């Protein structure tokens, strides 16, 4: 028996001393099954038994209005996640490396999109960016429309994804050994070279994880976009809104077909995020 397996055995024995595993595990599984797994199973069952392949094709893929909504949801989320990757990295960098007035306030307010209801951020952003709004009025003379057009959608999607990049990159930057950067610098690298060739590759797994989390969050987002988008078919209509519209017309098949596509996208993203997290954990060791 190797020493590590002895330790493992002892650990297992030690943890099993605590009571309540059966009760807590049983309740956890029961609750999850009732509230999450069975309802999601209902969606899968509905898709499998009540939607034919032809219907699925017509409702979820061949419809140009639906296709336009996928393009907007995925494209807008991608641009928003990209903006978050760039500015989120800067925010995380500034929070970890520098001292400045308002730093603690900035660190605290980064989590606002987690706690602020999407309907509130939605009406606030729309009111800011309409042509008479505090910010919108400066773009009106330039002929740039933000609210009720795609820039507004991207702003809303950027807001809700903002904490993800900052909060995944921040610990990675904090854990960075200063010796590595010092070594690069003492070998003659400029600050910029050190950042590009040493710092950035080290935080890259975390940055990608944050990007994927922000992207996944944005793809499913509804509330904040709903108010600022203007919701014009083919133009500013996101995929989640189309599900709601179909449900209001009692078109369960159409709504579910689009929902399944969105769900597949969400699961693929979840898989990618888990792989990225696994990669960044390995990277840090």
Partner 1 sequence: MDENLSAFRAIRSNTESALARRILIGTALTFIGLFLFLPLVLVFSYAFREGFGMYLFSFTTPDAVSAIRLTLVAAAIAVPLNTLFGVAAAWAIGKFEFKGKSVLITLIDLPFAVSPIIAGLIFVLLFGSLGWFGPWLRDLGISIIFATPGIVIATMFVTVPFVARELIPLMQAQGTEEEQSALTLGASGFQTFRHVTLPNIKWGLIYGVILTNARAMGEFGAVSVVSGHIRGQTNTMPLHIEILYNDYQMTAAFAVASLLAFLAVVTLVIKFMVEWKAHRDRDAAARRVEQGNSP
| Residue 235 Cβ vs partner 1, minimum distance, rounded to whole Å | 19
Q: Are 189 and 198 in contact (CB under 8 A)?
A: yes
Please identify which residue in the block is written with the tokens 């950042």. Answer: 195
Torsion angle, CA of 174/166/268/233, rounded to 10 degrees?
-170
- Residue from 9, 71, 111, 281 touching partner 1 (CB under 8 A): that is 111
- Residue from 2, 4, 5, 14 touching partner 1 (CB under 8 A): that is 14
Residues 55-94 that bind partner 1 (CB under 8 A): 87, 90-91, 93-94
200 forms part of the interface with partner 1 (CB under 8 A) = no
259 forms part of the interface with partner 1 (CB under 8 A) = yes
284 forms part of the interface with partner 1 (CB under 8 A) = no
Q: Is 188 exposed, middle or buried (0-12, 13-18, 19+ CB in 10 A)?
A: exposed
Residues 149-168 that bind partner 1 (CB under 8 A): 155, 158-159, 162
Torsion angle, CA of 238/81/78/272, rounded to 10 degrees?
-110
Nearest Cα to Cα of residue 215 among 109, 35, 82, 124:
82
Identify which range of 53-61, 144-152, 167-175, 220-228 contacts partner 1 by CB under 8 A.
220-228
- Residue from 60, 256, 276, 280 touching partner 1 (CB under 8 A): that is 256
H or E stretch including 118?
helix 118-129
| Residue 53 Cβ vs partner 1, minimum distance, rounded to whole Å | 19
Distance in angstroms (rounded) separating the CA atoms of residues 36 and 23:
19
| Residue 113 Cβ vs partner 1, minimum distance, rounded to whole Å | 7
Distance in angstroms (rounded) separating the CA atoms of residues 34 and 9:
35
Give the x-and-dash track for 24-53 against partner 1 (CB under 8 A). Answer: xx-xx--xx--xxx-xx-xx-xx-------
Identify which range of 51-59, 146-154, 201-209, 236-244 contacts partner 1 by CB under 8 A.
236-244
6 forms part of the interface with partner 1 (CB under 8 A) = no
Distance in angstroms (rounded) separating the CA atoms of residues 66 and 45:
23
- Residue from 58, 67, 74, 135 touching partner 1 (CB under 8 A): that is 135
127 forms part of the interface with partner 1 (CB under 8 A) = yes
Angle at 188 (CA atoms; ends 185, 191), nearest 5 degrees: 50
């Amino acid at each position: 028996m190797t020493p590590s397996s002895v330790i493992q055995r002892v650990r297992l024995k030690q943890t099993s001393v605590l009571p309540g595993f059966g009760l807590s595990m049983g309740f956890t599984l029961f609750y999850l099954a009732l509230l999450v797994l069975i309802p999601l199973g209902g969606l899968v069952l509905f898709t499998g038994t009540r939607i034919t392949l032809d219907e699925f094709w017509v409702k979820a893929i061949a419809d140009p209005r639906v296709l336009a909504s996928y393009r907007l949801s995925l494209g807008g989320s991608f641009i928003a996640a990209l903006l978050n990757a760039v500015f989120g990295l800067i925010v995380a960098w500034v929070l970890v490396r520098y001292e400045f007035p308002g730093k603690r306030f900035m660190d605290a307010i980064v989590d606002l999109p987690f706690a602020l209801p999407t309907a509130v951020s939605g009406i606030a952003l729309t009111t800011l960016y309409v042509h008479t709004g505090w910010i919108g009025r400066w773009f009106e003379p330039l002929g740039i429309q933000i609210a009720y057009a795609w820039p507004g959608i991207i702003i809303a999607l950027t807001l809700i994804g903002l904490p993800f990049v900052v909060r995944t990159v921040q610990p990675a930057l904090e854990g960075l050994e200063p010796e590595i950067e010092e070594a690069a610098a003492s070998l003659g690298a400029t600050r910029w070279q050190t950042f590009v060739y040493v710092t950035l590759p080290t935080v890259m797994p975390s940055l990608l994880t944050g990007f994927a989390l922000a992207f996944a969050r944005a793809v499913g987002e509804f509330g904040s976009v709903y108010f600022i988008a203007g919701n014009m078919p083919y133009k500013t209509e996101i995929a989640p809104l189309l599900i709601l519209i179909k449900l209001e017309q009692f078109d369960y098949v159409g709504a579910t077909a689009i929902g399944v596509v969105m769900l597949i996208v969400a699961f693929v993203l979840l898989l990618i995020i888990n792989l990225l997290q696994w990669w960044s954990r390995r990277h840090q060791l």
